[in-house]
Chains A and B, each alone.
Chain A
Amino acid sequence: MTPGTLSAQITDYANRADPYPLYAELRKQPVRREDDGTYLVSTYYEVRNLANDPRLSNDTRNRPPRYARTADAEDQGLPPSFIFTDPPVHDRLRDTINRPFGPPHSPSFLDGLRGELAKVVTELLDAFDGKDQVDIVEDFAYPLPVTAICKVLGVPREDEPRFHGWADALASSLDPRPGGGDGQEKGQRARQEMGAYLSDLIETKRRHPGPGMLSALAPDMTPADLEATAVLLLVAGHETTVNAITNTTLTLLRHPDVLERFQKEPDLAVPLIEEVLRFEPPVQFVPWTTALADIDVAGTTIPKGSPVWLMLAAANRDPKRFVDPDRFDPDRKDNEHLGFYTGIHYCFGAPLARIELHLAVPELFRRVTFSRLLEDPPPYRANAVLRGPRHLPVAIEGLTV
């Protein structure tokens, strides 16, 4: 393989359906310098150590100007959202945002949404009745997380058609090389439009508080910080869990032996979902970190100012950490996968994603009798970072109550 081309191949759409051979190639050199000075880190322990290393920054304003920054950090009149900040700003923001969302202040907020979300799952599956073919993405995996994030934030579900397009454009702008450069521009425009929508909504919530995080956070955050947070959480809610649900369905239909067992042992759902998060993580890599100092990793020095990509999906299949890593094995013990990252930027929405997966996956496979995948591999979305099928057409034989 030609040196210096692996990151280009990973972002190349032609490799979207199966990037794993490229990740295996990457792991031969745990810390790999690309021609433009970007470093790709792909082995488990090195990724985990760097994710916990305070010398690695998530604030792309620390990159020399010749490197791409995230659309988020561009001057939009808004501060970076907390995913693109470092301590102490990060910790202050995340603590505040966590207050209405999780422990110690709101330990039962998400747990209390289970009933409503279970109802959504039931309604989506009821609509399969009489069909012999469904698209798992459009008919199931996309509507559930969108409804969930709207409920969590307190965004009216009926406005969804308006922000659907914005969320897509923003997610593409996270991709390091989206469609010849206009992805960044589209992302910025989407962020502005979505920001304007959310800023109006936040102002309304400030005056007339209702259920959901936006109302709860309005008194404690500046309008700009809350707007940046709302954009981030709304996009994350749209573009990640959909892949987790779809990847689980795809992986099960590709492993009929596991599927057969799952139908007899519904308890298998819990370890099975964790194994999908290792095997096909919805966020494949984190390309927005920057070295704040010279960092020695596995015999290589990453110079200060270098962009660093942490390759989570490659680390999740590192044979030095996982036995037989390319095997999908729901019985895997000690599955400390990096599907939700690790360290201080561990996925904020992970508990919500898990609640959705725990509700959606067992019910989908209990009620629906699947016949087969209609396209394998399915068509993928362009994004290499938030990787997942655009559609997952499947033939079904029946639906039980």
Chain B
Amino acid sequence: MRLVVDLNRCQGFAQCVFLAPDVFSLHGDEALLFSPRFDEAQRDRVEKAAAACPVQAILVDYSDEPTKGVEPHVG
């Protein structure tokens, strides 16, 4: 499971950090840090974080899993 954040879109609303604090964090007030790979235990939180992003900058990629396809959150 992989994460991509479009940092050109990210405006530092930090909603992802609130919802998945073990995957996303803020460096200073606005710079977003995140772990591009996360494990199954974080999946639910990452889904919530991606859906909550006010500018839909988070893409969750499940293509390394045999059971589920890519679900782009950025249109």
Which A residues fall within an 8 A CB radius of B?
95, 102-104, 107-108, 110-111, 267, 270-271, 273-274, 333-336, 340, 342, 346, 350-351, 354-355, 358
Contact = CB atoms under 8 A, between A and B. Distances in A.
A102 B18 contact: yes
Contact of A103 (B18, B54, B56, B75): B18
Given A107-B25, A110-B18, A333-B72, A274 B52 contact: yes
B56 A336 contact: yes
A351 to B, nearest CB: 3
A111 B13 contact: no
Interface string B14-26: 1101110100011
A333 B15 CA distance: 18
Contacts of A274: 51-52
Interface of B: 13-15, 17-19, 21, 25-29, 47-48, 51-52, 54-56, 72-75
Contact of A104 (B29, B51, B52): B29
Contacts of A111: 18-19, 21
A355 B19 contact: yes
Contact of B26 (A95, A103, A335): A103
A342 B54 contact: yes
Of the listed residues A103, A333, A340, A355, the one surrounded by the most CB atoms of chain B closer than 10 A to its CB is: A103
Contacts of B21: 103, 107-108, 111
A12 to B, nearest CB: 31
A336 B55 contact: yes
A267 B19 CA distance: 16
Contacts of A358: 48
What 4 A-B pairs come out closest when comparing CB atoms?
Answer: A334-B75, A351-B18, A104-B26, A103-B17
Of the listed residues B26, B29, B54, the one surrounded by the most CB atoms of chain A closer than 10 A to its CB is: B54
A381 B14 CA distance: 32
Of the listed residues B27, B29, B55, the one surrounded by the most CB atoms of chain A closer than 10 A to its CB is: B29
Nearest to B71: A333
Contacts of A346: 13, 54
Given A270-B48, A334-B74, A351 B15 contact: yes
A107 B13 CA distance: 13
A274 B50 CA distance: 11
Given A103-B14, A333-B72, 19 more contacts: A102-B14, A102-B18, A103-B25, A104-B25, A104-B27, A108-B21, A111-B18, A111-B19, A111-B21, A273-B51, A274-B51, A274-B52, A334-B56, A334-B73, A335-B56, A336-B55, A354-B18, A354-B48, A355-B18
